[in-house]
Chains A and B, each alone.
Chain A
Amino acid sequence: MLAIKLAFKNLLGAGLRTWLNVTVLSFAFVLMIFYNGMIDGWNRQSRKDTQAWETGEGQFWQPEYDRYDPYTIQDSHGAMSEEIQSEIAKKNLVPVLIAQATAYPQGRMQGVTLKGIDPDQTILKLPTKALSKTNDSDYAMIGKRMATSLKMDVGDRLLIRWRDKNGTFDAREIEIISVFKCDVPSVDKGQIFLRLEVLQEMMGMENEATLLVAGENFKHRDFKNWVFRDQDFLLADMDKIIQAKKAGGTIIQALLLIIALIAIFDTQVLSIFRRQKEIGTYIALGLTRSQLVGIFTVEGGAHSILAALLGAVYGIPLFLWINKVGISMNYTQGMDIDLPIGEAIYPYYSLQLITISIILVVISATIVSYLPARKISKMKPTDALRGKLQ
């Protein structure tokens, strides 16, 4: 308690030098929390969007289906039992049939994935209602990325060719009835959405689907010949990418923190050199060497407490404002980014993030303060009193 009281007194008494160090350290604090908050916010947003647009509350897959292996798609289809049909009717499941095809936009050739989906589904955010506007089987909808890739727009016609379940090639010209905007690239890139029954008819796979997306009200149970994939499985790759981005940002944060810690280290070394007489006086007054090391260590470590307070003074209003307006990501529109990314990211500052950041900075500052403070224990009191040490 004495060490803390004395340390803060000395620290505040040191004036400008303290505030310069504290300011640099507070930048490290704020940047660290901001960057991690941004990544966490992005992560939450990405998970939420992917869930809303693609994964739902989990999916039942055909056993052979592997979303990263196009060769598995041809054989990944199965009949939907009455039990499944009943859940679909209650809007608890939405079936999706997936097929490989080739598109020929303006004479070019491009591999695409056809997805058949129920136009009346309400589980996914996909605006499938557009497909229910007409019973004409020629209509399809695509996302903005796909539209850009195909150089097509609403009303354009596109030739597609596919192989049905018997391996027979067939082709058809379809009209783009809707181009939707979606923040989740995996829903949009290379994909053409058709009515489920249209694709089933094209493939010769009546009453079949590749996967079933579960909705909020679905009470989990297993279906024969279908494998359930939960959220953790479906979002695992996205989590890995975000973690990798977080690790990259850690380098910048670490550099800033190191600069701030070097400033504290430098101050402590200088302080111990400049304040020899004071140290000698403390010894003469009866402080033990370990108490003195404690005072100087706490004094250095206290920089981080002041930095946290200063950071809070300008950081909290700044974070609140950023949370209100978001960080615009408009510049990423049209970029080929594999992660879901909205027009704006809203950082998320968890108590855990703030606590970990504070603990990390306080411990680091205390360690760099302790290292020079150890020198005090080797000082001769008489030399210290005379300010004789070099």
Chain B
Amino acid sequence: MEEKIISIEKLVKRFPVGKTEFVALNNLSASFVRGEFAGLVGPSGSGKTTLLNIIGSLDTPSEGEVHVLDKSISLLSHKQSAKLRNRHIGFIFQTYNLLPVYTVYENVEFALLLQKLSGPERKKAVMDALEWVGLTDKIKSKPSMLSGGECQRVAIARSMVKRPEIVLADEPTANLDSKNSHHILQTMKKLNRELKTTFIFATHDEKVMQYLDRIISLEDGKVVKDELIKNSKNQ
């Protein structure tokens, strides 16, 4: 039986806009199992990023319940949220969000600094992660010296180095050309298969959709379609 690691029940998220409220997620329910390669698709403002942020415990629901790895996001303290993100969730952003003053190695290592790993253990984990994304020859480079594709590969390595159960990727290919996008997606797909990591994307990029095993279509904060894709790329 497949292990459910994320469950969302009647999730509502409202944002104040002046004196009124904007409903970003409206009574949304869904669940994800371990090892899924799923995507949230939909037009801008449909609630994709908001949902990712709540799953990643960067934001909290206005109503409803979100459980991630059996933890209710609404009930987590700041410290517990931070711990959840540090241990179990990796993030990949559209703009890479690499730390500019750190080298590739240090950017990837950063995610491990909060975990009590020995120096050699940390080094091995970082080198493994950089090997997954094919960047072992760039460990001393700063982000400013890398191409967009390489930056995103560093971001993937950073999100994967702690071997999280879940990786949340918000428009990871939006700033990349077609070749780099495919390279990135193939890398993520490979990691998904090998490490059984659950990947959830927020995207409206057709290239990403070709790789997804499941597509959840959102519109006005609601799930309008939830379909499994049998013949996705690299399956």
Contact = CB atoms under 8 A, between A and B. Distances in A.
Are A and B a genuine interacting pair, yes or no? yes
Interface of A: 2, 9-10, 12-14, 277-278, 280-281, 283-289, 291, 380-382, 385
A284 B101 contact: no
B132 interface: no
Interface string B81-108: 0110111000101010101111000100
Nearest to A278: B99
B45 to A, nearest CB: 14
B85 A281 contact: no
B59 A284 contact: no
Contact of A283 (B58, B101, B102): B58
B37 to A, nearest CB: 21
8 tightest Cβ-Cβ pairs between the two chains A and B: A286-B86, A13-B101, A281-B97, A381-B58, A288-B82, A286-B85, A284-B91, A382-B53
Nearest to B97: A281
A385 B97 contact: yes
Contacts, number: 63
Contacts of A380: 59
Contacts of A9: 101-102, 106
Helix, strand, loop or mixed for chain A's interface?
Answer: helix
23 contacts: A2-B114, A9-B101, A10-B101, A13-B100, A13-B102, A278-B99, A278-B100, A281-B93, A281-B97, A284-B91, A284-B97, A285-B91, A286-B114, A287-B86, A287-B114, A289-B78, A291-B82, A380-B59, A381-B53, A381-B58, A382-B58, A385-B58, A385-B93
B75 interface: no
A280 B59 CA distance: 12
Interface string B142-176: 00000000000000001000000000000000000
Contacts of A12: 101
A9 B114 CA distance: 16
Contacts of A280: 97
A173 B87 CA distance: 100
Contacts of A285: 85-86, 91, 110-111, 114, 158
B58 A284 contact: yes
A14 B95 CA distance: 20
A14 B101 contact: yes
A281 B90 CA distance: 11
A382 B55 CA distance: 12
Contacts of B86: 285-287
A298 to B, nearest CB: 15
B78 A288 contact: yes
A134 B17 CA distance: 104
B140 to A, nearest CB: 14
Interface string B42-67: 00000000000100101100000000
B91 to A, nearest CB: 4
B113 interface: yes
A288 B114 CA distance: 10
Given A285-B110, A288-B79, A382-B59, 9 more contacts: A10-B101, A278-B97, A283-B82, A285-B86, A285-B91, A286-B111, A286-B114, A380-B59, A382-B58
B82 A286 contact: yes
Contacts of A283: 58, 82, 85
A277 B58 contact: no
B231 to A, nearest CB: 33
Contact of B56 (A2, A13, A284): A284
A287 to B, nearest CB: 6
B118 to A, nearest CB: 14
